[in-house]
């Protein structure tokens, strides 16, 4: 193992004056290998964190604890302005950029990085702590050979992701084929307020601070908004649990409840609970009256409304979606017998998505296994 800053230079120049507009990349704009800048900025109106420029071949990694985002800079990415929430590395002679990027994605590196993160509120790794990191450096020919193998595995993962995206699109295609866009209700279907055909209740979790450990690590599933946005519409897993003390200060929703995120960047994310779960107050539980509609139908209609609901959220950092906005939301209501056909089709696609999710997890596990073997000299 070699000190990371013996193999790479900690780099990243500050932004010089420019006259045009440029894309700005925050850590939130990175998802896996995808980099999708959400805004373009001028020199004068750029956020204070938009102050990092890099070169082709540099490698960026998120400084924040428990954030495993890594970017190998190529092509147009070298023209972006990057958030100072990233650290930038420039490999020295004898070190391959792809090798470094794969090391930064490895579980071994991420665990070590997380252990070195500091801070009172949002923990992150400092430049001084980066000096304590290390990296295995075999001969350059070996770095290139192993990187090629890992490139091929990542390509397979990309194919899996693309197939998953196409599958998700078939749900929307089936729905629109039957009813058109529910936002415009072009078929002039009867409508009803969501609050008249479903029971809407806000979740609950009253302790302050919210991370008080005395309420957690029991037998009761407890979800927050991130669990919803990562669920592909059916929620059967959780990252936290409550004990008896936590259960007493939270709210449980039964299986079949539509959970809807009403705060932060996840506003409008939806999923259907597959088992009973306790929910924080940043989530609304929607229990559909089966006399009027199917929960799968309502969940998809809400999914199509996400952009509209985001626009109706308060301006203050999109802080909180008013519950009354949801209750007053007009829902097109086709006959139940018509909904059955679409719901059956959606459920078949969801079953396929569950199999694809399992496949995606196996690929991710394989990738981490190969990374481990690569950096142990076993590949």
Render pLDDT for 30-42 as a digit per residue (tens, 0 to 9): 987 788 887 899 9
Whether residues 70 and 9 share a domain: the answer is: yes
Question: pLDDT tens digits for 311-360?
Answer: 766 554 444 678 888 999 999 999 998 888 888 888 888 888 788 888 88
297 in a structural domain: yes
Q: What is the pLDDT of residue 41?
A: 92
Nearest to 354 by CA among 262, 241, 274: 274
Q: For the CA atoms of 140, 144, 147, 151, what is the dihedral angle to 10 degrees?
A: 160
Distance CA 104, CA 92 (A): 16
Distance CA 93, CA 95 (A): 6
Whether residues 100 and 129 share a domain: the answer is: yes
Query: Cα dist. 66→93, 120, 161, 192, 379 in Å?
Result: 30, 15, 22, 43, 27
pLDDT surpassing 50 at residue 3:
yes
pTM of the predicted protein model: 0.64
Q: Which residues pair with 222 in a beta bridge?
A: 240, 278
Whether residues 6 and 95 share a domain: the answer is: yes
Whether residues 45 and 113 share a domain: the answer is: yes
Whether residues 102 and 25 share a domain: the answer is: yes
Distance CA 329, CA 284 (A): 14
Whether residues 8 and 112 share a domain: the answer is: yes
What is the token pair recorded at 130? 């980066």
Decide: helix, strand or coil at residue 267. coil
Residue tagged 């071994």 (tokens): 108
Q: Which residues pair with 91 in a beta bridge?
A: 8
184 in a structural domain: no
Q: What is the pLDDT of residue 28?
A: 87
Decide the pairing of beta strands 234-235 and 270-273: parallel
Angle separating helix axes 97-105 and 107-116, nearest 10 degrees: 70
- CB neighbourhood size of 259 (10 A): 24
CATH number at residue 34: 3.90.220.20
Whether residues 172 and 60 share a domain: the answer is: no
DSSP 8-class letter at 92: P
Structural domain including 149 reads: 138-179+335-379
Whether residues 213 and 272 share a domain: the answer is: yes
**Mean pLDDT throughout 92-117?**
95
CA 222 to chain centre: 18
How many folded domains does the chain comprise? Answer: 3
CA 191 to chain centre: 33
Q: What is the pLDDT of residue 316?
A: 41
Distance CA 333, CA 59 (A): 51
40 in a structural domain: yes
Q: What is the pLDDT of residue 351?
A: 82
pLDDT band of residue 274 (cuts 50, 70, 90) is very high
Can you say whether the dihedral through the CA atoms of 90, 93, 98, 102 is positive or negative? negative
What is the token pair recorded at 332? 């097109």
Question: pLDDT tens digits for 178-197?
Answer: 888 888 888 899 999 999 99
Q: Which helix (H) or strand (E) holds 121?
A: none
- Give yes or no for a contact between 203 and 227, defined as CB atoms under 8 angstroms apart: no
Whether residues 19 and 124 share a domain: the answer is: yes
pLDDT band of residue 145 (cuts 50, 70, 90) is very high
Residue tagged 């950092």 (tokens): 317
């Amino acid at each position: 193992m070699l000190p990371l800053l013996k193999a790479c230079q900690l780099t990243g120049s500050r932004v010089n004056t420019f006259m045009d507009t440029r894309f700005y990349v925050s850590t939130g704009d990175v998802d896996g290998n995808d980099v999708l800048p959400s805004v373009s900025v001028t020199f004068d109106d750029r956020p204070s964190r938009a102050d990092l420029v890099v070169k082709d071949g540099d490698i960026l990694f998120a400084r924040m604890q428990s954030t495993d985002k890594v970017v190998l800079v190529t092509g147009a990415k070298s023209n972006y302005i990057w958030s100072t929430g990233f650290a930038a590395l420039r490999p020295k002679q004898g070190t391959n950029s792809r090798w470094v990027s794969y090391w930064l994605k490895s579980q071994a590196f991420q665990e070590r990085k997380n252990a070195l993160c500091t801070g009172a509120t949002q923990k992150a790794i400092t430049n001084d702590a980066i000096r304590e990191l290390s990296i295995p450096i075999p001969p350059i020919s070996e770095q290139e050979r192993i990187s090629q193998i890992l490139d091929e595995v990542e390509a397979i993962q990309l194919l899996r992701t693309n197939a998953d995206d196409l599958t998700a699109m078939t749900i929307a295609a089936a729905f629109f084929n039957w009813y058109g866009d529910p936002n415009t209700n072009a078929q002039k279907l009867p409508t009803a307020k969501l609050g008249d055909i479903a029971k809407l209740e806000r979740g609950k979790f009253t302790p302050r601070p919210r991370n008080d450990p005395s309420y957690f690590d029991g037998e009761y599933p407890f979800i927050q908004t991130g669990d919803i946005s990562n669920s592909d519409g059916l929620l059967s897993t959780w990252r936290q649990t409550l004990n008896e003390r936590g259960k007493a200060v939270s709210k449980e929703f039964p299986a079949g409840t539509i959970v809807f995120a009403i705060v932060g960047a996840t506003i409008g994310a939806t999923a259907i609970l597959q088992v009973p779960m306790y929910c924080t107050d940043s989530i609304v539980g929607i229990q559909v009256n089966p006399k009027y509609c199917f929960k799968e139908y309502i969940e998809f209609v809400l999914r199509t409304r996400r952009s509209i609901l985001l626009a109706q959220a308060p301006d203050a950092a999109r802080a909180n979606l008013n519950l009354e906005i949801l209750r007053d939301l007009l829902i097109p209501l086709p006959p139940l017998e018509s909904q059955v056909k679409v719901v059956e089709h959606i459920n078949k696609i969801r079953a396929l998505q569950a199999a694809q999710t399992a496949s995606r997890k196996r690929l991710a596990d394989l990738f981490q296994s190969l990374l481990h073997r690569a950096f142990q000299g076993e590949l």
